[in-house]
């Protein structure tokens, strides 16, 4: 079991939540992420910045009904890293499950 292979960029519970939400939606507004994750604007911004700097998400700023709206989506790299993260976690759990029986 190699837990050092876990992507620490994703492994934070908030960033894992963001990646999970984005993996099941094409584009998600900031307000949806904030409401779903039940965190403050500042906390969410901090985690979004980490994911953006890593190249895992892209940010789109636009206007909807003359109001600014920021939406987020996964990049190709983000999709690949999320799948890799899930595979690693599954392998760790399979190995641990066998030892716990």
- 3-class secondary structure, 1: coil
- CATH 3.40.120.10 describes domain 3-95: no
Q: Which two tokens stand for residue 53?
A: 């700097």
Q: What are phi and psi of 49, to 5 degrees?
A: -65, -40
pTM metric for this prediction:
0.90
In what helix (H) or strand (E) does residue 94 lie, and over which residues does it extend? Answer: helix 76-100
pLDDT in tens, the chain (101 residues): 678 889 999 999 999 999 999 999 999 999 999 999 999 999 999 999 999 999 999 999 999 899 999 999 999 999 999 999 999 999 988 888 766 55
CA–CA separation, 69 and 57 (whole Å):
16
Q: What are phi and psi of 57, to 5 degrees?
A: -130, 160
């Amino acid at each position: 079991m190699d837990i050092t292979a876990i992507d620490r960029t994703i492994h934070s519970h908030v960033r894992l939540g963001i990646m999970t939400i984005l993996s099941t939606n094409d584009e998600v507004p900031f307000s949806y992420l904030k409401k779903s994750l039940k965190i403050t604007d500042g906390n969410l911004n901090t985690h979004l910045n980490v994911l953006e700097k890593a190249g895992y998400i892209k940010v789109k700023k636009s206007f909807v009904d003359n109001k600014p709206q920021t939406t987020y989506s996964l990049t190709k790299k983000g999709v690949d890293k999320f799948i890799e993260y899930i595979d690693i976690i599954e392998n760790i759990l399979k190995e641990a499950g066998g030892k716990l029986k």
